[in-house]
A and B are shown apart, each in its own frame.
Chain A
Amino acid sequence: MDGVSWSARAGETVCLLGHSGCGKTTLLRLIAGVERPDSGSIHIDGEAMSTPSRFVPAERRRVGMVFQDYALFPHLDVLRNVMFGLHEGTRAQRAARAQAALDRVGLAARAHHYPHMLSGGEQQRVALARALAPAPRVLLMDEPFSNLDRRLRDRVRDDTMALLREAGITAVVVTHDPQEALCIADRIVLMHGGRVEQDAPPQMLYRQPASLFAARFFSVLNEIPGEVRGGRIDTALGSFDAAGLSDGPAVVGLRPRDIVTASDGVAGTVTDTLFLGDLTQLRVRIAGHALPLTLHLPAPPTVRPGQVVHLRADEAAALRFPASPNV
């Protein structure tokens, strides 16, 4: 990890997004204090947690963490799992607070079950209740929904995020799923090879990615090489405003929805069609571009492979990058 710097505002949900091995989980573990950084510093609420001269161990940081495998203590029942982090007050008071935390996640009735008796979704909620019960200053979540099956995942995710926003909790969530990051984050820190690729709100990251890597991360991207000359980029799919790029080779990125069929467009041959339910995916080969372009059309398929269609790009949505050989 190298030169990573960002901060979260109070009450904000920040997503650390990236492919596996990009350093996002390590970063989370550094914040939690279960791992020690070689250099750099970490502050929570303005208080130094980790600097070259000071290291606050995990148990004194007052952070809450939800682990990917939930890490529920198998020898304790649900209530005692939640009570584990509560240190103040009598036993009865602590039990009452744990019970209240379970109530918030809708698991009050499961207090005396053991972790292995719960479903995956319930285990996730216990882990959340346990992390939140001691009122942490920041909640860290490591791929918290990845162990749930897809249908359950959406519901648990919505419930979790509603709970966090309602309670105004500052959260840092690690995920590798771009869709998940887009829908839960107030801000996404996109990581790549131990560095921050871009740090921006979801809409901005999607609409104005800072690099080809960031643009590719959120969907299939048609990358059409071109040449900037006199403020325009000329490509096989027409000419685009260069938007300040200097003369030389460049790449225009178009998401599948940003290419449409139009009678006055560039002619191309359909190589295959794929019915995706809500959308139809077309792959179209055009002259002067090696790879077929991918399009998502809202209608059911009316064209067949071999047919000729005419394409036009949505210039406003086009992403422009200077061509660089190594991305």
Chain B
Amino acid sequence: MHSGRGWSFASLLVAALVLLPLIALGAAALRGDASLWPHLLQHVLPPTLHQTALLLLGVGALVIVVGTGSAWLVSAYDFRGRALLDWALLLPLAVPTYIVAYAYMDLLHPIGPLQSGLRAVLGIDSPRDLRLPDIRSLGGCIFVLGFVLYPYVYLTTRALFLMQSATLIEAARTLGAGPRTVFVRVALPLARPAVAVGASLALMETINDIGASEFLGVRTLTISIYSTWVNRADLAGAAQIALAMLAVVAALLLIERRGRRSQRYNTAAQRARPMTPTRLSGAAGVAAFALGSVPVLLGFVAPALYLVERSIARLRFAGLPPSLLDATLNTVATAAAATVVIVALGVTVTYAARVAPGPLAQASARIAGLGYAVPGTVLAIGLLAPLGAFDRWAGDLIEGFVGGSIGLLTLGSGAALIYAYAARFLAVSAGGIESGFARIAPSIDHAARTLGETAGGVLRRVHLPMLRPALAAAALLVFVDCMKELPATLLLRPLDFETLATTLYGEAARGTYEDGAVAALIIVLAGLLPVLLLARVGRRAAETLP
């Protein structure tokens, strides 16, 4: 099929674009001074790896406990406010890790509202007499990241509990197992693959995070890559650390893939009727609601309220920060441009797998989807060398023609940013579009083709109109992800180009919290949109279950 070949070639090209930064990363690492390796292995990697490992362990444990606990609470019990909690538990997803860290730094500061309030209540005058554990620590970072990232585990295990056949739970109960035994011996072991998927996604976010760990003083691999490049301009060194980080990511990816595989097998139960939750009334119901609210309060309500309060204070005091409008426009423009590119690439990859199925299309789709696992910092370091080289080459070429300098073509224009966003978020758009395609019967394609339409024509005249909701959802998710992105943006943005995220990062670094609060609030409000979408989709999925 002629047009099929064109599509699979396009898909291959997309895969190559995603792979390029990783290959370039390897090349950059090799080009570095070989004598650096011993130094790196002896002095840089051990402490950062140690910190990163502790952080991952702590966050992993916390997200698993909070995520599965809350998922079980709203799945197995019915109480007043359960429907609210069901989606409210997703809210922390709206807040990027760096914003929560930023909010908590001020909230829990010795002269911040919480500690001052406590002192007032307890009648203590000096901050020195009441010492709470410092949020700027590994423990603080685990706390912040854990309560922001637990929704990944909540989402996957909740979905699994909904799909799990109720008869398994009922069988356990007729065999004499009480609620606790049912959870520990049946529900939890069955949910293990979903827990693994959710936890590995949360840990990928942890590795990707740059703001929270930096604000809270944890030297993770990401931080050390960033500072190796920004402070020491040592690209080879940064690339070498990035390679070490990719090894960690590969391990997480393996866990995730394995989880997804065994999940299919564990939920193969036929005609699953979801379990009927146990009704809790009176004090038990109130206690359940209170318990379920804790993660929402810590992960969303407290930091969001803080941001609202700070923003109002700032607006009253000095009006809108003048730079905010620029930053907002910059953010929206780059995110919108990136969204168009990413959705188009997502359609290309998934449509190629449909019209020209085979190992080639499958492999390209797989590779194209890998980017979500690659931390933004690593991606950016990998892109610096090839894009820099391209800019020099293109600059020389154009200078030869027009005689004047045009500056850096990709790194100077924000095109590099869009490239990085595309590589990182392609999986998000491709995933959504793919599930949209899956709902279109192949016979529709065959009907259109037998009526004389080409593959491209079918896409344009049949699929795209049918896919509109899936495309809109994918675009929204991608747009908000781009808006929130910090690590790659920090490294690849043009000089003096500020987005909302980088503005906030800069204000936090300077310690001028109030000025960043408005920017943070805008990001959180935008971040709420996909969460609401997710909650609606989840509810609809639960309703359509037999």
Chain A residues within 8 Å of B, Cβ to Cβ? 29, 32-35, 57-65, 67-69, 71-75, 84-85, 87, 116, 130-131, 134, 140
CA gap between A130 and B174 in the complex, in Å: 10
Residues on A with beta carbons closer than 8 Å to the beta carbon of B439? none
Would A59 and B170 count as touching, CB distance under 8 A?
no
Would B276 and A87 count as touching, CB distance under 8 A?
no
Q: Which segment, of B40-48, B185-193, B467-475, faces chain A?
A: B185-193
Say yes or no: is B51 at the interface (Cβ < 8 Å to chain A). no
Cross-chain pairs A/B with CB under 8 angstroms, 27 sampled: A32-B174, A34-B173, A35-B276, A58-B170, A58-B174, A59-B174, A59-B178, A65-B171, A67-B171, A68-B167, A69-B165, A71-B167, A71-B170, A73-B168, A73-B172, A73-B186, A73-B190, A74-B190, A74-B268, A74-B269, A75-B190, A75-B192, A84-B185, A85-B174, A130-B171, A130-B175, A134-B175
Measured CB to CB, the closest approach of chain B to A47, in angstroms, equals 16
Residues on B with beta carbons closer than 8 Å to the beta carbon of A33? 173-174
Say yes or no: is B177 at the interface (Cβ < 8 Å to chain A). yes
Would B172 and A84 count as touching, CB distance under 8 A?
yes
Would A57 and B173 count as touching, CB distance under 8 A?
yes
Residues on A with beta carbons closer than 8 Å to the beta carbon of B167? 67-69, 71
CA gap between A158 and B29 in the complex, in Å: 72
In the complex, the chain B residue whose C-beta lies closest to that of A58 is B173
CA gap between A134 and B176 in the complex, in Å: 9
Say yes or no: is B39 at the interface (Cβ < 8 Å to chain A). no
Residues on A with beta carbons closer than 8 Å to the beta carbon of B186? 73
Would B185 and A64 count as touching, CB distance under 8 A?
no
Given contacts A32-B174, A58-B173, A59-B175, 13 further A-B contacts (CB under 8 A): A34-B170, A34-B276, A61-B174, A64-B175, A65-B171, A67-B170, A67-B171, A69-B165, A73-B171, A84-B185, A85-B174, A85-B175, A134-B175
CA gap between A75 and B175 in the complex, in Å: 16
A69-B270, A69-B271, A75-B266 known; A34+B174 contact, CB < 8 A: yes
Measured CB to CB, the closest approach of chain A to B184, in angstroms, equals 12
Measured CB to CB, the closest approach of chain B to A169, in angstroms, equals 15
CA gap between A61 and B173 in the complex, in Å: 9
CA gap between A272 and B475 in the complex, in Å: 64
Say yes or no: is B265 at the interface (Cβ < 8 Å to chain A). yes
Measured CB to CB, the closest approach of chain A to B344, in angstroms, equals 41
Residues on A with beta carbons closer than 8 Å to the beta carbon of B170? 29, 32, 34, 58, 65, 67, 71
Residue of B175, B192, B266 near A84 (CB, 8 A) is B175
In the complex, the chain A residue whose C-beta lies closest to that of B168 is A71
CA gap between A296 and B21 in the complex, in Å: 79
Measured CB to CB, the closest approach of chain A to B422, in angstroms, equals 40
Interface centre among B168, B174, B186 (most CB of A within 10 A): B174
Residues on B with beta carbons closer than 8 Å to the beta carbon of A62? 176
In the complex, the chain B residue whose C-beta lies closest to that of A76 is B189
In the complex, the chain B residue whose C-beta lies closest to that of A130 is B175
Residues on A with beta carbons closer than 8 Å to the beta carbon of B270? 69
Interface centre among B175, B177, B178, B269 (most CB of A within 10 A): B175
Residues on A with beta carbons closer than 8 Å to the beta carbon of B168? 71, 73
Measured CB to CB, the closest approach of chain B to A163, in angstroms, equals 19
Measured CB to CB, the closest approach of chain B to A28, in angstroms, equals 11
CA gap between A165 and B372 in the complex, in Å: 61
Measured CB to CB, the closest approach of chain A to B545, in angstroms, equals 15
Measured CB to CB, the closest approach of chain B to A70, in angstroms, equals 8
Measured CB to CB, the closest approach of chain B to A80, in angstroms, equals 10
Would B176 and A74 count as touching, CB distance under 8 A?
no
Would A75 and B173 count as touching, CB distance under 8 A?
no
CA gap between A85 and B171 in the complex, in Å: 9
CA gap between A72 and B175 in the complex, in Å: 12
For chain B, residues 29 to 58, give those with C-beta under 8 angstroms from any C-beta of chain A.
none
For chain B, residues 154 to 203, give those with C-beta under 8 angstroms from any C-beta of chain A.
165, 167-168, 170-178, 181, 185-186, 189-190, 192
Q: Mark B249-277, 1 if CB is under 8 A from A, else 0.
A: 00000000000000001101111000010
